[in-house]
Each structure stands twice: as structure tokens, then as C-alpha cells.
Amino acid sequence: MLETLISFSIATLALALSPGPDNIFVLTQSIVNGRKYGLATVYGLMTGCIIHTTLLAFGVSLIIKESESLFLGIKLFGAAYLLFLAYKVFKSDASITFAEDNITKKTTTQLFKQGFIMNVLNPKVSIFFLAFFPGFLFSDTLSTVIQFYVLGFIFMLVSLIVFSTIAILAGTISEYIKSHKNVGLYLKWTQIVVFVGIAIFILFF
């Protein structure tokens, strides 16, 4: 059980560190408006994850009760989707860019709401959770609903720590990215390895 949760935490950490629209948005808001505004965005994004976790916990738990073969199908879908994401990252440009111009000044409340809405209304988050979480169920005795909430809490906690650090150290991080052109390439391959690694874990462990 502990090994599975540690593996899940490491995978989540690697994913949170990889450049994506959410952490780039947090980075940009922090650079332009200040760390307080970046943190407000982070809190909104993480709050939105509660909705996705709830939908996953009750929806997939019902499927598990109804049919083990359907649950196997979900895991196979999850592995295939993660391999597809790895392929998309492989084909993408490794450079990291973030627009600092023409960003409208917003209050922390507005940025919290924007982060929340960005997350909740993004169907890719639900699909990713569906692909990612079921392969890390860790107990034969605990309710699957409880297990999904535990995984959701770990995902939110790890992501919150990483995204908050990005918001607080935004200036330093942006300068490092600008002065080290190869960092995008390293992070790109980290993403690919993580996606493929999770897919293998789901299929064979």
C-alpha cells in the first residue's frame, strides 16, 4: 500500500513540475502581478480538482461494483491515453514560452475564480484523472471511494506545494528558463518518461 502511494506521489510530483498550461499560467500571473496573485490562481486550480476527484470517486467506484471487466477496460484506456500524451509531448516543441504582455490586472478573488473555472470546465482534467488514478488503487479492504479521495488529496497536496513554489519563486524561475534554453528539452523528456512509466505501471503492476 505504502509503495503504491509513494509511486503515485512521485509521478504526481514529476507531472506538476513539467511545463503545462496551468503552471505556466501561474508563473505568468506571479511575474506580472506578484506572488499573491499567483497563489490565488493556484488555490483556485486546486479547489477545482475536488470536483474532478468526486466525479471520479463515485462514477468509477460504481463501475467497479458492476463489472471487473469494465474496470479492466478503464485501466487499458488509461494506459493507452497516457501513451498518447507521451506521443503528443514527443511531437511538441520543447521551448517554454509565457506571454507577459497585455495581461489584464485582476483581483485575487477574480484569479481564484478563474483558476477554479479553468480546472472544472476542462474535460481533459477529468479524462486524465480517469486515466491516472485507477491504476494506483492501493487497498483490497478500503472503499474505492475513500481510496480515490486519498489519491485526490495527495495529488492536490503535491501539486499545491509545487505550484505555490512556482508562484513564490516566479522571477527566479523565469530568469533561469530564459538563460537556460535546454531546460525545456529536459522537462519535455521528463514528461515523456513519466507518462510511459505510469502507463507501464497501470498495465503490469
How far apart CA 9 and CA 71 sit, in angstroms, is 22
Q: Write the CB contacts of 1 (distance below 8 Å, at least 6 apart in sequence).
A: 138, 139
Strand, helix or coil at 121?
Answer: coil
∠202-118-89 over CA atoms, to 5°?
A: 45
Domain boundaries, the chain: 2-94+102-204
Asked whether the predicted pLDDT for residue 66 surpasses 70, the reply is: yes
For the chain, how far is it from start to end, CA to CA, in angstroms?
12
What would the grid cell of residue 18 be?
A: 513539467
How far CA 28 is from CA of 42, 57, 131, 173, in Å, comes to: 12, 32, 29, 11
- Write down the pLDDT at residue 99: 63
Which one has a higher pLDDT value, 45 or 184?
45
Other residues' Cβ atoms within 10 Å of the Cβ of residue 80: 14
- Write down the pLDDT at residue 184: 84
- Write down the pLDDT at residue 44: 97
- pTM attached to this predicted model: 0.89
Asked whether the predicted pLDDT for residue 56 surpasses 90, the reply is: yes
∠87-92-94 over CA atoms, to 5°?
A: 120
Q: Tell me: the pLDDT tens digits for 75-111?
A: 899 999 999 999 998 998 877 766 665 566 789 999 9
How far apart CA 146 and CA 169 sit, in angstroms, is 34
Q: How confident is the model at residue 203 (pLDDT cuts 50, 70, 90)?
A: confident
Q: What percentage of residues in the chain have a pLDDT greater than 90?
A: 60
Q: Write the CB contacts of 118 (distance below 8 Å, at least 6 apart in sequence).
A: 22, 25, 44, 45, 48
∠48-62-127 over CA atoms, to 5°?
A: 40
- Closest C-alpha among 86, 81, 92 to residue 185: 92
**Where does 115-159 show beta strands of DSSP type E?**
none
